[in-house]
Amino acid sequence: MLDSLGIQISTQETQTLDDDQSKNDAQDKIDMTVGEAVASAVAKEAARSHKIMEKQKEDVWKRAEAATMDRINHDIMMQERRVKLAKWEKELEADKKLDEEGSSDKFKSAEKHHHAILGPTLIDLGYKRIHIVSAKTLAAIPIWEKQRVYRHDRAKIMANDKLKSLELGLPGVIALHEGTDGSLAILDGQHRVGMMAILHEKFTGNNNHDDNHEDSDKYKYKLDLEQVMVEVFPQLPSSSENHANHIFTEINKAESVKLMDMPGIAKTSDRRIINEAAQHFQESYPDMFKPSQRCRSPHLNVDNFRDAIFAAGILQRHGATIKSHKGLVKWIEEKNREMGKRFEKDPPPNVTANALMKARKFDFYLGLDLAWLYL
């Protein structure tokens, strides 16, 4: 299972897969859930420490296995639900006494009664439904394929902040999309779901990397993670094929969504290359990346970084030499070396001494000046 997430655990140490093609194939085969993304992030964090105790290895495996089993069980429940609904539709069709409006009402009533995964419908407005579900259930729902990349470091910061404001509860609503086949995907709120997954582990004392297990009871009753409000946008037979795209765009009109994350803007292959290259630099230079999109030079924010790469059209301009994330990494590393040499000889006046000192310390100059993107 961890192989499909891009993680290997050997008897010696934990390491990421070297075979990019295997990784890409695995990503094509599964729809990642937040629970699996959290498990993957924990394994990668362990990988960077190189030495892992046997008990820690076992915990990483169990966590990953549980996340995948949750997704599989959800898939099974959805299949059973589809069969039941198909049978119900046939019965309605065969019932000559019911007119078209009655059939529609009866079908809606059956749908409204109980959802296999989300439970009872509180409100059905036609274009969307409201449900109350647990954080654990949400963590087993796949992230929409065109959603922005899940960032575990962002979810951890959100979780730490939430511990200071538990009395505020969980503002906002998690938005899900429901396909015509009944499949569910998180359209908006994946990092809040990740935050809740982290808090759930802390509250239940299952976080083996947290030494403050005695704090579990202190927090547990201040935030009810069994009752999270979600809105579900069902794609009806009459809906546009781009129904999920339209809903996602509508939700994020008031938020700062990166250009490459907007539906229909970036090709899937280009997005994957840029995402993996950006992740490489974030993991290779962790001291030079900050969660805030307003971070100052010489730091970079990974979402701003990947969006800048996309906006600069690097893949289009250098398509002959950059055909994978490794090619992009190599190109950016060369730019970093060139900048290092240039800044050593002639530091520009707009770069502070402290920023230049830190860039030299970590041998990372990309955040000092983004002109390298266009050279």
Peptide bond into 298 cis (omega under 30): yes
CB 150 within 8 A of CB 302: no
d(CA 135, CA 224): 9
Q: 240 burial class (0-12, 13-18, 19+ CB within 10 angstroms)?
A: exposed
pLDDT of amino acid 195: 92
pLDDT of amino acid 14: 39
Q: Position 14: which residue type?
A: T
Contacts of 142 (CB under 8 A, 6+ apart): 31, 32, 33, 71, 183, 184, 185, 186
Say if strands 228-234 and 174-178 run parallel, antiparallel, or are unpaired.
parallel
14-68, pLDDT tens digit by residue? 344 344 444 444 444 446 677 777 777 766 766 665 555 555 666 766 766 766 6
Number of C-beta neighbours around residue 258 at 10 A: 19
Mean pLDDT, range 118-131, rounded to an integer: 90
Number of C-beta neighbours around residue 263 at 10 A: 17
Angle at 175 between CA 174 and CA 176, to 5 degrees: 120
Q: 64: which 2 tokens?
A: 């990953």
pLDDT of amino acid 282: 94
User: Would you say residue 351 has pLDDT above 90?
Assistant: no
Phi, then psi, of 124 in degrees rounded to 5: -120, 110
Mean pLDDT score across all residues of the chain? 76
User: Would you say residue 329 has pLDDT above 90?
Assistant: yes
63-84, pLDDT tens digit by residue? 667 666 766 766 666 666 556 5
d(CA 6, CA 22): 8
CB 197 within 8 A of CB 139: yes
d(CA 212, CA 205): 9
Of 79-83, 155-159, 182-186, 203-207, minimum mean pLDDT range: 79-83
pLDDT of amino acid 279: 93
What does pTM read for this prediction? 0.53
Contacts of 101 (CB under 8 A, 6+ apart): none
CB 228 within 8 A of CB 174: yes
What are the domain boundaries of the chain? 3-255, 268-374
